[in-house]
């Protein structure tokens, strides 16, 4: 096969060419499969083999191969060529291959999902509470909560969840604490941010797809629910919310936009110091 290998301008249709790729900042290679002129698996295999020879001789450290879902036929060939999976999203899988001498220094996959819960107390001392249609807490009153959307800020996610579940408009006061836990869905870890929000409206509209009911519950009645004594973390979280709601000095992390006043995108730093 060596006689057929041609790489560079002037090659002819039957020749094997390197995969289209560019170098990254870290002495690595990013393959651009969209520019590969064939959907034939054996053509891909030949090009991959030639490319790897070349990248190894050039002392490249790592290779990234992003295969959009339409290129799924190339996945087995890449794995057999030495690649492993790195991560995937609905529309693509990212594979990589470490060519360096030492341990792999390629960046890790995302490790955490992020949840937000909202403590919303009105001026009658009632807490905004929901009853979920499914899951562990389905006959209990609990705080509105949910998962952050991709690219969503913590404060914005808390406001959105309250609005979606109950129709109540709120403004963000502070993050009053967070819990980290491990071994969740797919072996990932989770961070749950407990947010204090101030209600701006009072009339509830229940989102019935996920909820059975939502209402303003007197705080003492809410706190008396047995599951809050049985599940220490949830009971402790409520106590922290109650303590901070009655204390003269807030003890949470406020939202500080470090880019405020500039034309740059906001950059949020949550902390509890004077600004």
Q: How far is the CB of 7 from its own copies (least distance, A)?
A: 27
Nearer to its own copies, 216 or 238 (CB): 238
Q: How far is the CB of 211 from its own copies (least distance, A)?
A: 14
Nearer to its own copies, 1 or 90 (CB): 90
Nearer to its own copies, 8 or 151 (CB): 151
Going by C-beta distance under 8 Å and a sequence separation of 6 or more, which residues neighbour residue 51?
18, 19, 21, 31
Tell me how far apart the alpha carbons of residues 258 and 265 are, in angstroms, rounded to a whole number: 10
Tell me how far apart the alpha carbons of residues 267 and 272 are, in angstroms, rounded to a whole number: 16
Token pair 């019935």 is found at 208
H-state helical runs in the chain = 41-57, 75-80, 154-166, 219-223, 227-230, 232-246
Q: How far is the CB of 193 from its own copies (least distance, A)?
A: 9
Q: How far is the CB of 25 from its own copies (least distance, A)?
A: 9
Tell me how far apart the alpha carbons of residues 100 and 52 are, in angstroms, rounded to a whole number: 12
**Is the CB of residue 21 less than 8 Å from the CB of residue 51?**
yes
Nearer to its own copies, 37 or 107 (CB): 107
């Amino acid at each position: 096969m060596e006689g057929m290998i041609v790489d560079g301008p002037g090659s002819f249709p039957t020749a094997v060419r390197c995969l289209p790729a560019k170098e990254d900042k870290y002495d690595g290679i990013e393959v651009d499969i969209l520019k590969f002129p064939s959907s034939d698996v054996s053509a891909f295999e030949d090009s991959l083999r030639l490319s790897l020879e070349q990248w190894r001789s050039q002392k490249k450290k790592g290779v990234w191969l992003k295969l959009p879902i339409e290129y799924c036929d190339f996945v087995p060939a890449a794995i057999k060529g030495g690649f492993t999976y790195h991560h995937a999203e609905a529309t693509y899988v990212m594979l990589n291959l470490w060519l360096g001498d030492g341990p792999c220094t390629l960046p890790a996959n995302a490790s955490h999902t992020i949840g937000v819960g909202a403590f919303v107390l009105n001026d009658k001392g009632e807490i905004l509470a929901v009853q979920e249609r499914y899951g562990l807490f389905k006959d209990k009153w609990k705080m509105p909560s949910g998962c952050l959307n991709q690219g969503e800020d913590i404060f914005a996610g808390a406001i959105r969840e309250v609005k979606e579940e109950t129709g109540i408009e709120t403004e963000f006061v502070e993050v009053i604490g967070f819990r980290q836990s491990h071994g969740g869905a797919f072996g990932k870890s989770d961070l749950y941010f407990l947010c204090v929000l101030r209600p701006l409206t009072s009339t509830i509209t229940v989102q019935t797809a996920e909820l059975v009911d939502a209402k303003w519950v007197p705080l003492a009645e809410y706190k008396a629910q047995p599951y809050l004594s049985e599940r220490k973390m949830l009971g402790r979280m409520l106590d922290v919310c109650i303590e901070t709601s009655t204390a003269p000095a807030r003890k949470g992390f406020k939202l500080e936009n470090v880019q405020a006043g500039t034309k740059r995108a906001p950059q949020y730093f949550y902390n509890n110091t004077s600004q």
